[in-house]
Amino acid sequence: MPRRTSLEAPLVIVMVGLPARGKTYTAQRLERFLVWRGYKARVFNVGNTRRELFGAQVPHSFFDVDNPEGYAARRKAARSTLEQLLDWCEEGGQVAIYDATNTTKRRRAWVKEACEAQGLQVLWFEIVCNDPDLIDTNIRASKLSNPDYAGLEPDDAVADFRARIAHYEDVYETVEDHEGSHIRMHDLGKRIELGDIHGYLPGKLVSLAMNLHTVPRPIFLSRHGQSEDNRRELLGGDSPITDKGRVYAAQLASWFQDRELGEIQVWTSTLQRTLQTAAPLRPQPISVKALDEIDAGVCEGMTYAEIEETMPDAFKARRNDKLRYRYPQGESYEDVIERLEPVLFELERQQEPVLVVAHQAVLRALYAYFSNQPRETTPYISIPLHTLIQLTPRAYGCDESRFVLGPEVGHGGNSA
User: What single-letter amino acid sits at 70?
Assistant: G
148 belongs to the catalytic site: no
Alpha helical stretches, state H, 191-242: 200-209, 228-231
Q: How far apart are CA 300 and CA 292, in angstroms?
A: 14
Sign of torsion over alpha carbons 236, 242, 248, 254: positive
Contact between residue 355 and residue 342 where contact means Cβ atoms under 8 Å apart = no
DSSP reduced 3-state for 231: helix
Other beta carbons within 10 angstroms of residue 377's beta carbon come to 12
What is d(CA 78, CA 102) in angstroms, rounded to the nearest whole number?
A: 9
Between the alpha carbon of residue 184 and those of residues 81, 156, 181, 187, 193, the distances in Å are 23, 32, 10, 10, 5
Bridge-based pairing state of the strands 354-358 and 182-186: unpaired
- Does residue 129 carry a catalytic annotation? yes
| CA within 13 Å, CB half, 252 | 34
Whether 99 is catalytic is: yes
31, 89, 99, 348: the catalytic one is 99
- For 182, list phi and psi in degrees, rounded to 5: -155, 150
The rounded distance, in Å, linking the Cα atoms of 292 and 339 is: 10
Name every residue whose Cβ is closer than 8 Å to that of residue 159 and which is 6 or more positions away in sequence: none
What CA dihedral angle connects 34, 37, 38 and 43, to 10 degrees? 10
Catalytic residue among 126, 148, 160, 293: 293
Q: How far apart are CA 361 and CA 374, in angstroms?
A: 15
Strands laid side by side in the 219-223 sheet: 286-287, 265-268, 354-358, 219-223, 387-394, 397-404
Instruction: Say whether 224 is catalytic.
Output: yes
User: Based on the number of CB atoms within 10 Å of its own CB, is 398 exposed (0-12), middle (13-18) or buried (19 or more)?
Assistant: middle
From 60, 167, 182, 224, the catalytic residue: 224
Catalytic residue among 129, 148, 160, 213: 129
- What's the length of the chain? 416
Are the CB atoms for 355 and 283 separated by under 8 Å? no
Q: Is the distance from CB of 331 to CB of 295 less than 8 angstroms?
A: yes
Alpha-carbon span 244 to 35, nearest angstrom: 37
Phi and psi at 192, nearest 5°, equal: -120, 130
Residues classed as catalytic: 99, 129, 224, 293
